[in-house]
Chains A and B, each alone.
Chain A
């Protein structure tokens, strides 16, 4: 199975500051990669997914962007954080031919 590494685990950022969350995948090549956000007590909201290097699809318009500079690296960024960006962010991956998604441990973001 795959292993998803995600960092940092927790961060507190002021409004207007930039953001960078990183994710790397072990155990498979050319994975499909995902960024989700999970609000407290709520379901998973798909933010971005990528099927290959430089290929990013956005599911919802927002203050965030994603990049995939390497096959097994996925980055979530923002130039200026908003209070509403607070939440639990999850990186996930699956084999290109697979149908099961594996998640990282998540990153808790609090914007103050």
Chain B
């Protein structure tokens, strides 16, 4: 069993939809939780970074961490075609572990 499991997708939504991307994990030592966005043929870029449980909002993006359930989510409001990318979750307790990514397509 992998330490980090990410909903595999792919996910296709119409422009303007609310998107939910999710990961579960098994290592209770994880303290730092990240979301990366990766456009086709590019390196991943850090999108959101949170420490411990709770919510963090940045514009149209909200990262949510529930340590009691070992579950994290990334919500995208008013999704745009430019949000089409692969999203990777990552978690760290000194060493980072990545999910395999969910590919999102937002259709105009």
A: residues with CB less than 8 A from B are 1, 4, 6, 42-44, 88, 90, 94, 99-106, 108
Contacts and interface: CB of A to CB of B under 8 A. Distances in A.
Nearest to A4: B43
Given A44-B88, A44-B98, A100 B41 contact: no
A99 B31 contact: yes
Main secondary structure, interface of B, reads strand
A24 B45 CA distance: 17
B92 A106 contact: no
Contacts of A43: 88, 98-101
A61 B36 CA distance: 27
Contacts of B45: 103
B26 to A, nearest CB: 16
A106 B96 contact: no
A102 B100 contact: no
B32 interface: yes
Contact of B96 (A1, A101, A105): A101
Nearest to B90: A101
Contacts of B32: 99-100
